Amino acid sequence: MKGAQLLVKALEQEGVGVVFGYPGGAIMPVYDALLDSPIRHVLARHEQGAVLAADGFARVTGRPGVCMATSGPGATNLVTGIANAFMDSVPLVAITGQVPTPVMGTDAFQEVDIFGITMPIVKHSFLIRRAEDIPRIIGEAFHIATEGRPGPVLVDLPKDVANTMTSIPPIFEMKSSDPGRPDPEQLALACRLLGEAERPVLYAGGGVGMARAVDAFREFAEASCIPVVTTLKGIGAVPTRHKDYLGMLGMHGNLAANKAVQASDLLICVGARFDDRATGRLDGFAPGAKVIHMDADPSEISKLRFADAGLLGDLRVSLSSLPTDLSIEPWRAWCAERKAEHAWRYDAPGEGVFVPDMLRRITEADPEVTIACDVGQHQMWVAQHCHFQRPEQHLTSAGLGTMGFGIPAGIGALMAKPDGRVLTVTGDGSIMMNLQELQTIRRYDLPLKMLLVDNASLGMVRQWQELFHEERYSEVDLSDNPDFVEVARSFGIKAFRVTRRDRVDAAIERLLAAEGAILAHVCIDPKTNVWPLVPPGETNDVMLEGMSA
Amino acid sequence: MNHTMTLTIQRVEGALIRALGLIERRGFAVTSIDASADEAAQQMELTIEVCSPGRSVDVLARQIEKLFDVRSVAHVRTSEPAVQLEESMAC
Ligand SMILES: Cc1ncc(C[n+]2csc(CCOP(=O)(O)OP(=O)(O)O)c2C)c(N)n1
Ligand SMILES: [Mg+2]
């Protein structure tokens, strides 16, 4: 058996059903072997589309997404997607072809040191030197991608190794590792802190979903009645309509969420990492609070904020070990008042489409829809206004903020759940970053729904220039955009335009009822802003407010 | 502050660069390094002196420890920097 066949067999053994990729010289042996495999290969139209689709697939399933590309430019085109998965702790196995080992290091045609290039953005990486190592390395790659805090693993396979004949080595199996239990002393400390707290807040991050700790988190939140805030990735840790949910915290968070965190005396951080978009100026973040930090990653605890109690290991164990009989009624009432006081308003003046309201209504009409976002103002509106029941319904490029994520991630989500309903919310800037993937939608007849929020600008950057650069607008005008309805149609995708508020209901119905792929092109005022906003460098006490319309 | 740490890493491709790269990327400067190989165990022992930018060296140790090629990390001692801060590159 050839090395390449062994690789494909190893993927099958890992239960891989679909891989996303793009062929080329150095990875041809693997593409040849794929022809004889039940694994479905999805051809993207750019390697970045392939890796981001694999990322979306992984976010929905919790299993590693798999992508492959050839050496050189194929491999470098994966880099953004690998970094995206790294920043958001998404399990991913990226397989790259490499030039044959005898010419490695000679600047051979299409040779790049992808192993070296990706070193700071992978959880681990392998360069395969011997065909007989393939099953072991693939086994380890899948294990590493998923154990503890998940992340991307790169496997670089030189062409001569892929072509080497070898006997079939024994099946390689990794024992699944136990995420571990929190240290009893730290746990006792956490219990004491909780018992003494008068104003506790649960601060949930993406780790809650990834650790499959949603049930445990909800049980604890329900029983303790502690108000909940989430990060961008933590959205859905409790249903967004939950009575004690105050919303997302941070730069574009809800005022009630930020006020509660700033006033709290105990922050219970569950699978979050004190990211600057969430904390604002760190030294003024929750200034009076003690911290209990639960995480699967030992290097997160006390990285940015000292943890008075650090609970390492399985979030589920930690959550179920904490006391829930607290007397925090006055605090809950205070938080509920803030929540009512700062509830979102949808009575924006004007005749134009008010995107926050449109987004909210889409998720009211279809509570089970999965939303894959692009990056910019529209992404923040999704986070603020859409309703979600579970974290894996909300796919967003949080840590890296990768424009171009939305459509590939939507493709990956549909490949993971062909019967699911998936909506990509994108912007007129972002859609152009992976526009070619409209053809992937067409090729595989994917019923992806797309909502393109077109403000004829790089809205988020424009907003910052307005607010923090004295309205000196620099390269944010996109009024020369193509006709997106025509563009979609030229890919064989249905499309229609919405410009008026009184047409929004009909548009939502058309979007949700459509069979097959469809794009709604929503044109809005370029001067619309996202509110509220914590200016960069300020603490979360400073929230600018305005009315977007 | 200067910190001395010892690392035992596996002798596999990329292990050395991965460990040193991480130290620099996290904002620490490597001010001295001493390496010896244990052929039989396929391991390498590193004694590294790093200069801290004011970040926690314990967090750094845990970040290094997470690398799959790293067998062990120990923080041996902390000392006043031998080089003045201004003179050293990264601090
Ligand atoms: C690949 C990439 N390049 C640049 C940026 C910086 N950036 C962040 S938001 C944004 C504007 C996005 O424009 P659009 O997709 O139209 O969204 P809008 O803010 O207008 O809703 C830009 C350029 C980025 N996040 N990603
Ligand atoms: Mg825009």
Per-residue model confidence (pLDDT) at position A120: 97
pLDDT over 60 (residue A258): yes
A124 part of contact set with chain B, CB < 8 Å: yes
Per-residue model confidence (pLDDT) at position B84: 52
CB contact under 8 A, A120 and B22: yes
Banded pLDDT at B82 (limits 50, 70, 90): low
**Is the entire prediction scored with pTM above 0.90?**
yes
Per-residue model confidence (pLDDT) at position A360: 98
Q: How many Cβ pairs closer than 8 A exist between chain A and B? A: 33
Banded pLDDT at A547 (limits 50, 70, 90): low
Question: For the residues B71-78, what does the mean pLDDT come to?
Answer: 90
Asked if residues A418 and A391 have their Cβ atoms less than 8 Å apart, the reply is no
CATH code for position B29: 3.30.70.260
Residues lining ligand 1, CB < 6 A?
Answer: A 374-378, 401-403, 427-430, 433, 453, 455, 457-461
What does R_g of chain B's alpha carbons equal in angstroms? 13
Q: What one-letter code names the amino acid at A453?
A: V
Question: For the residues A374-395, what does the mean pLDDT come to?
Answer: 98
* Ligand 1 atom having least distance to the Cα of A463: 19
Asked if residues A67 and A75 have their Cβ atoms less than 8 Å apart, the reply is no
Per-residue model confidence (pLDDT) at position A370: 98
- Decide if B38 is inside a domain: yes
pLDDT (tens digit, 9 = 90+) per residue, A278-327?
999 999 999 999 999 999 999 999 999 999 999 999 999 999 999 999 99
Phi-psi region for residue A159, left (φ > 0), alpha (ψ -120 to 50) or beta?
Answer: alpha
pLDDT over 90 (residue A516): yes
- Decide if B78 is inside a domain: no
> Which residue in the block uniquely carries the two structure tokens 């001010």?
B31
- Decide if B11 is inside a domain: yes
Give the residue among A451, A449, A370 at the shortest CA–CA distance from A417: A370
- Decide if B77 is inside a domain: no
pLDDT (tens digit, 9 = 90+) per residue, A323-352?
999 999 999 999 999 999 999 999 999 999
Say which of A460, A463, A484, A543 is annotated catalytic: A460
CB contact under 8 A, B62 and A298: yes
Q: What percent of chain B has pLDDT over 90?
A: 71
pLDDT (tens digit, 9 = 90+) per residue, A178-225?
878 999 999 999 999 999 999 999 999 999 999 999 999 999 999 999
Does A460 participate in catalysis according to the annotation? yes
Taking the C-alpha atoms of residue A454 and residue A424, their distance in angstroms, rounded to an integer, is: 14
Which residues have CB atoms below 5 A from the ion given as ligand 2? Answer: A 427-429, 455, 459
What does R_g of chain A's alpha carbons equal in angstroms? 24
pLDDT over 80 (residue A397): yes
The complex's ipTM works out to 0.89
- Decide if B79 is inside a domain: no
What does the mean pLDDT of chain A come to?
96
Banded pLDDT at B83 (limits 50, 70, 90): low
Q: Provide the domain limits for residue B33.
A: 2-70
Which residue in chain B is spatially nearest to A121 when comparing CA positions? B22
- Decide if B64 is inside a domain: yes
Q: Which domains does chain A have, with CATH numbers?
A: 3-163 (3.40.50.970), 184-341 (3.40.50.1220), 355-523 (3.40.50.970)
DSSP A142-185: HHHHHSSS--EEEEEEEHHHHH-B-PPPPP--PPPPP-----HH
Q: How many domains does chain B have?
A: 1
Q: What percent of chain A has pLDDT over 90?
A: 97
* Ligand 1 atom having least distance to the Cα of A376: 19
Does A233 participate in catalysis according to the annotation? no
Per-residue model confidence (pLDDT) at position A174: 72
